[in-house]
Every structure is written in C-alpha cells, then in structure tokens.
Amino acid sequence: MTKTITREHVAELFTTVTHATEGDRIVYNVRYMFAGADTVERDVYELVSDIAHASGLSHSFSFEVISRACNILTKLNVWDGDDIDDDALREAVESATPVYNHELLKIVNTADYGLVNDALAESGNNDIITACSYAWDTAIYNAVHELYREVVDYNNDNAQ
C-alpha cells in the first residue's frame, strides 16, 4: 500500500479550539494523534512532532512555529514536486510572524533567547523588537524547509 502525505493531511493536523477561560488555542487534531499505528495520519503527527522536538526550541515556542510552518506549507505550490519558491516562502513567513510587540516578545519569555541573541549580534544594534521579529522569521523559515524535506523524503520512501 502506498502512503502519501498530502496538502490536506498537513492542513488538518492542527485545529482551533475555544476555551472559556483561555480563548482560542491551536492544538493537534486528536484524529491524527490517536490514529492507528500504520496510517498516514499518525505518521504526519509523528513527523511534525519530531521536527518540533528536534528544533531545540522550547515546547510552547516550537509548537507555535511548527503550526505556522504547516499553515505556510499548505499554501505553497510545492505539492506537485516543485521546489520551494524562496520569494513566496519569505513573503509567507513575514505574514506569519507576529506584528504586535507582546507576541514578538513571547520568544524571549519561552527561553528561546538564543535566537534573539543571534539576531542582535547579526544586526549589530540593540533593537530587541527587530531582533525578535528576525528570530521568529528564522525559526518559521527553517521549520518550513525541514517540514518540506521530511514530507518529500516520506513520500519518496513510501512510493511504490
């Protein structure tokens, strides 16, 4: 049996739930989390979870980054074997990066300040907001590329 990860699989992996006290939250789709061991749905969940864990980012920040990366990947024209258009990816990443200071600063509060320190060193100035924005961009950009590579490898390994 050929198993292929499709755009729909990636698009359905995350869902939004509303909590009375916390408002809307993005969570993994339970249908994917508890899918049978030999299903594409379970494989997608494990693949994305592994990418988030291997990122070296804190749990909460890696979850936000990978959910945004999945959203971006579903919108890119890469599902027919095309390579990622870097200009389209950069535009999508910029749109996915938070714009409000309190959201940008989440990266500092989640102990992922190494990314911010790298951005500060690279820019040569001490603008923390710009550094946080750059760190978000970098994390999302890298996650999309990693996710794309993993999906292509998975599909190639399971093609028959």
- Decide which of 70 and 82 is more confident: 70
Asked whether residue 89 carries a pLDDT value surpassing 70, the answer given is yes
Q: Please write the tens of the pLDDT for every residue from 99-136.
A: 888 788 777 766 667 788 888 888 777 888 888 888 88
CA-CA distance, 152 to 41, in Å (whole number)? 16
Residue 18 pLDDT grade (very low, low, confident, very high; cuts 50, 70, 90) = confident
Asked whether residue 160 carries a pLDDT value surpassing 70, the answer given is no
Asked whether residue 4 carries a pLDDT value surpassing 70, the answer given is yes
Asked whether residue 11 carries a pLDDT value surpassing 90, the answer given is yes
Residue 101 has what pLDDT? 81
Asked whether residue 58 carries a pLDDT value surpassing 90, the answer given is no
Residue 56 has what pLDDT? 83
Residue 130 has what pLDDT? 86
Domain range summary for the chain, segments of one domain joined by +: 7-158
List, in sequence order, every residue forming a beta bridge with 24; answer none if it has no partner: 18
Contacts 24+ apart (CB under 8 A), 151-157: 151/5, 151/10, 151/47, 151/73, 154/3, 154/5, 154/43, 154/47, 155/4, 155/5
